Structure 1
Amino acid sequence: MASSTVAAGAAQAYTYTRPSGLDGGLLGLSTSGGTTSAGPRPHPHFFSGVLTQAAPAAAGLIALADVAQTRYYQPRPTSFRDPVVTCNGDRLRMESFSACGGVYARLDVLEPGMDGDVHERGTTNVDVNGPLREALARVGGSDPLHLAVGAEEMAVTTMDGAVVEKKVPLPDRWLRGFAEVQVITAGFDPRAELTGLDAVRFLRSLPKRARDVLWVVPAGRTLRVSSRPVPGAVCLAGPDRLRTMLPLLRFASALRVYGPSVANGSGPVSSVWELELPGMRYVLTLSPQNSRGFSGEGAVLDALATDEVAGDADLIGALLSFEPRVDPDLLSERSGLTLARTKAALTQLGTSGRVGFDAAEAGFFHRELPYDPARVAALNPRLRSAQALVEGEAVRFTSDDTAIVRTDGGDRQVRFDGDRATCTCPWWFDHRGERGPCKHVLAARMVRREAAVEVAR
């Protein structure tokens, strides 16, 4: 993690005192600048102890790194982005995003998988380099693996003690993806669970390449692949995007799948795939289609399109302290905000990288990402366009549930039906709300909310 704010589309600078390495049974993960419960640190020291399950931990780290340097859509060489690591006290969470922005990966090392001392709670980036990956690939057996995350005494060497610096592009779509995944998966439910052996059979039976979106349906002890959605089905777009799970199958005791409710004729949706490993979990979240990165899904826009949400987010953010599980009800009680406003504030915090979501525990968790929360509007062009329409007084309500939005391309009609809205613009015609609201719906909602606040006064 860089110790300074990253400008939109700029290169991310990682600075490490030495490269990470594996030497004499000690896995030393070198940290860059991060945020801790005590404030910013240039090289935070989070944990020292042992990973009680060395082989699956090493394989999980390699899988995480593989996702970070892969473009699953239109593959081409790409720069590697170092994983984000958060110490929540009773666990270590390691996160990465694919270069194409369509696959989110996380390795959670849980309390049974680690034994040692937690020195600080917080978030940083850790160096994962080529030699380290080669060393991790040789880890086997059942011997514990000593781990130091940011310790000064790490038993790894660098020539003349030189500082290690990396600079890689950090696209806005990569940053937005973290926010979208958190919002999208918060609405998922468990859909299927397979034993380790059944998971092996299922994952190895999947086609390596599939152009069309597939669906999987629970069928006895396994999952049946279908070309069409039915109630209870889970979307599987691009089965090859699950391939980093294959080396982990020999350690897996279960495969769990999460997704939203679907019906006959439903369009593609995201899904979460989770391998239960000894003392840890490896999680992949897939976008609805190979060609769709999470950054364009638009799930965060409604929660951001309010004047009060930024202030609420500041209040809720001040109450967070790198908890492994964030309780919205408790935060609502402590802050004095309604539960709805608390959840909207958590969404806002997610867009600035401060909140993630764990489907396995159906709860939020606190972490930080290296970019400025003030960039939220700039990272969402639809929201910025909607705000411009409102400021230009382009929205006119003709009835309680109908608005006309004036644009250069002609008038657009927005209709409300409870919490749902439709629009006559080409974006709405193409996506039918499956990729978030269009700018006209957003603008109409902003004006509607402002009017409701005025009436309440």
Structure 2
Amino acid sequence: MSTAQTYAYSRPSGLTGDLLGLSTSGGTTEAGPQAHPHFFSGLLTQAAPAAAGLLALADVAQARYHQPRPTAMRDPVVTCNGDRLRMESFSACCGVYARLDVLEGALDGEVVARGTTNVDVNGPLREALARVGGSDPLHLAVGADELAVTTLDGAVVEKKVPLPQRWLRGFAEVQVIASGFDLRAELGRNEAVRFLRGLPRQPNLVLWAAPAGRSLRTASRAVPGAVCLAGPHRLATLLPLLRFARALRVYGPPVATGSAPVASAWELELPGMRYVLTLSPEVYRGFSGEGAVLDALATDEAADDADLVGALLAFEPRVEPDLLAERSGLPIDRVRAALTQLGTSGRVGYDTAEAAHFHRELPYDPDQVAAMNPRLRAARALVDEGAVRFTEPGLAVVTSDGRPRQVRFDGDRVSCTCPWWADHRGSRGPCKHALAATLARRAGQETRSSSATEAGV
């Protein structure tokens, strides 16, 4: 299912002389919603790697890695966090998330406002960015200023682009998944170049990369400490950036020998900036179906806490849970749960390099994200229908389509007898039966059902 997103720009983005003017469309600032927010005006001191990084983001936004075919351009999301600009895009197939962080060392100018918006990336701009080279800085305007208005073409631009709901859900899912990553390997420039250029290009290949001296060695099976590399061709947008690279860092979750494929993040350190690609566990598998957000969406307490914590965010580059706990009066564990809840609607992202959340507001009506999860909708319907019955503490029978499924709770673990659980074992989030039982348990139905069973009712 898709919705139409209309980008309305007061003028096209362009590169004229030494001015890179990025036009904005809709968004949110500290002062509230803005039609054409103006975030930054000043020098981009590392012009060539920034131009290459922006091109790489645009390439990801147009890519459909599992079934290559032309697709409509989706303009990058840009957040000004004060000391940095974060530019994000998602592949059309939902399996690759890309972000370029232009850090304080590459910016020299005035931060006009903090917030999030879309920026126009058009064909002529891409051609101009591809010609940027040398060491001369560029003047950068994110949003209109006097220089941009007088220099660039003033024609109004509108783009109408289909935004699949699964693409929007991917933005919410990827930050929840990435928050479980740890740094697994760091390669210097020469080792990074050799490793990345030596990777095979088969589209459906799943490799595992494990530290080996100063580099990585690849294998077909998981071993402890390895990072999954599903579809090495999906790292192709790193290759044009290698001439600027200083290091390659690789992140992933803990794995055991023989583990199933998992997501991973691949980060190039560039002069004054970072470019990171987060890959889904398999090429055909988009982040939108991973189900990592479902547990967070299935709790009323976290939702209430998220309203409080969300009101305290101010587009910080690094969200500090301890400070939020002090300001909100909530315990630290509830603050962390609230941040996960905020992530499910796209209001925070996660930076693996700093192991911290950052505040942004997706310009895609993120309040709809929770309603876009079909498993959660189905689970709530099962609860409303009275399809959940606890036969004893920790054991529920959930009847769906006339078939009873047993859901068992064992501490923090939950299992189900349905085919979905048999296939995925929780690796793609809980099934609808487990979600329904969790919702019913949190509503106190476990105690009531178990008491009725003991009384012979």
Distance 1:452 1:256 in 2: 47
Q: Which AA in structure 2 matches 1:379?
A: M
SS state of the match for residue 200, structure 2? coil
Q: Which residue of 2 aligns with 1:439?
A: 432
Distance 1:372 1:139 in 2: 35
TM-score by length of 1: 0.95
Q: Which AA in structure 1 matches 2:163?
A: L
Contact 2:344/2:370 (<8 A) preserved: no
Contact 2:78/2:118 (<8 A) preserved: yes
Q: Which residue of 1 aligns with 2:407?
A: 414
Distance 1:33 1:355 in 2: 18
Q: Which residue of 1 aligns with 2:11?
A: 18
**Residues 1:157 and 2:124 are matched in the alignment:** no
Q: Which residue of 1 aligns with 2:181?
A: 188
Shifted more, 336-345 versus 346-355: the winner is 336-345
Contact 1:19/1:156 (<8 A) preserved: no
Distance 1:194 1:113, change over 3 A: same
Q: Which residue of 2 aligns with 1:67?
A: 60
Instruction: Report how far residue 162 of structure 1 moved.
Output: 2.5
Shifted more, 263-272 versus 305-314: the winner is 305-314
- 1:291-440 matches, cutoff 5 A: 291-440=284-433
Distance 2:251 2:415 in 1: 28
Contact 2:393/2:447 (<8 A) preserved: no
Q: Which AA in structure 1 matches 2:18?
A: G
Q: Which residue of 2 aligns with 1:285?
A: 278
Distance 2:385 2:308 in 1: 31
Distance 1:98 1:432 in 2: 27
Shifted more, 309-318 versus 338-347: the winner is 338-347
Contact 1:22/1:156 (<8 A) preserved: no
Contact 2:60/2:90 (<8 A) preserved: yes
SS state of the match for residue 238, structure 2? helix
Q: Which residue of 2 aligns with 1:260?
A: 253
Distance 1:360 1:377 in 2: 27
Distance 2:366 2:26 in 1: 17
Instruction: Report how far residue 348 of structure 1 moved.
Output: 2.1
Q: Which AA in structure 2 matches 1:23?
A: T
Aligned pair partner of 1:448 in 426, 429, 441:
441
Distance 1:102 1:373 in 2: 19
Q: Which residue of 2 aligns with 1:5?
A: none
Distance 1:188 1:332 in 2: 23
Q: Which residue of 2 aligns with 1:107?
A: 100
Instruction: Report how far residue 327 of structure 1 moved.
Output: 1.2
Deviations 1:80-108 (A, max 9, x none): 10000000000000000000000000000
Contact 2:43/2:140 (<8 A) preserved: yes
SS state of the match for residue 99, structure 1? coil
Q: Which residue of 1 aligns with 2:233?
A: 240
Contact 1:21/1:156 (<8 A) preserved: no
Shifted more, 369-378 versus 82-91: the winner is 369-378
**Residues 1:145 and 2:138 are matched in the alignment:** yes
Distance 2:62 2:8 in 1: 19
Distance 2:197 2:393 in 1: 54
Aligned residues: 446
- Percent of pairs identical after alignment? 76
Contact 1:396/1:404 (<8 A) preserved: yes
Contact 1:60/1:248 (<8 A) preserved: yes
Q: Which AA in structure 2 matches 1:37?
A: E
Instruction: Report how far residue 163 of structure 1 moved.
Output: 0.9
Shifted more, 329-338 versus 143-152: the winner is 329-338
Distance 1:205 1:396 in 2: 55
Contact 2:12/2:155 (<8 A) preserved: no
Distance 1:294 1:445 in 2: 23
Contact 2:296/2:344 (<8 A) preserved: no
Deviations 1:416-450 (A, max 9, x none): 11111110011111111110000110111111112
Aligned pair partner of 1:171 in 164, 169, 187:
164
Deviations 1:195-249 (A, max 9, x none): 0111000000000115231100100011001000000000000000000000000
Q: Which AA in structure 2 matches 1:404?
A: V
Q: Which AA in structure 1 matches 2:143?
A: G
Shifted more, 376-385 versus 41-50: the winner is 376-385
Shifted more, 288-297 versus 394-403: the winner is 394-403
**Residues 1:92 and 2:85 are matched in the alignment:** yes
Instruction: Report how far residue 338 of structure 1 moved.
Output: 2.6
Q: Which AA in structure 2 matches 1:142?
A: S
Which runs of 5 or more residues in structure 1 are unaligned? 1-7
Aligned pair partner of 2:71 in 41, 66, 78:
78
Contact 1:352/1:371 (<8 A) preserved: no
The alignment's C-alpha RMSD in Å is 1.4
Instruction: Report how far residue 343 of structure 1 moved.
Output: 2.0
SS state of the match for residue 283, structure 2? coil
Distance 2:367 2:447 in 1: 27
SS state of the match for residue 257, structure 1? strand
Distance 2:330 2:436 in 1: 25
Contact 1:412/1:424 (<8 A) preserved: yes
Distance 1:215 1:84, change over 3 A: same
Distance 1:99 1:282 in 2: 19
Deviations 1:286-317 (A, max 9, x none): 00000000000000000110122322211111
Q: Which AA in structure 2 matches 1:315?
A: L
Distance 1:55 1:266 in 2: 40
Contact 1:18/1:156 (<8 A) preserved: no
Distance 1:338 1:446 in 2: 23
